[in-house]
Structure 1
């Protein structure tokens, strides 16, 4: 017994519409005032379109809204002024440190000269003569006779 062929399964696909949202229209600032007039237009096929009349924006209005100088240019200029101020301050700081170092060096040299002079006076003693138990001979008054000093 042979089996009759069965028909293949049928798949049915239903197309689904793709919904694309149009981009939002830019908002145009509206000046306060009386409401605009409503206009109606009759199309050639007989349809009537009713809406508000739009006045085109003038080119001078958009130019007036922009600042005279861009913020980026102002920021760059202020950064340059700040950098110049910092560099001047650093230059003054290094000059001050160099002057302070020279002043401290001069103070150390002056202290060494004064202290060295004080030590020299203490060692060589110009104020008094100390007898250490030896014979003192005053050469200016001495008389030399036969290789002997007579004082």
Structure 2
């Protein structure tokens, strides 16, 4: 099972080509091309150690697309909070309105009671005044004569 695999006879006679890597020459540090601060040249040139010059366009680094930032608090939460604040303000106004209505009701009730007391006092003074009647006929019941169930005055 672990025996080497035998290839067909055609492979046995084929010549093997061996490739050996060639060693690279020593790399010397290449001076950089001076660049103005904040400006990138449109074309960049690089001098290789063997004297060749490679020229190409400068590639700007890829900029990631801006990610839509989410607010720290959701808009729904802000709307609910603002609604609560508005409701609280309205409730304060409603509390003042109900207080005003209660005070107005108490005032009207007191005015009605005051009018009843004043009018009742005036009526009482008119009924129980010390002066006698101011006109008309006065009959003395003692002198009256009753004849056959008929009053003669």
Query: What is the TM-score normalised by the length of structure 1?
Result: 0.44
Asked which structure has the greater CA Rg, the reply is 2
- Larger helix proportion of the pair: 1
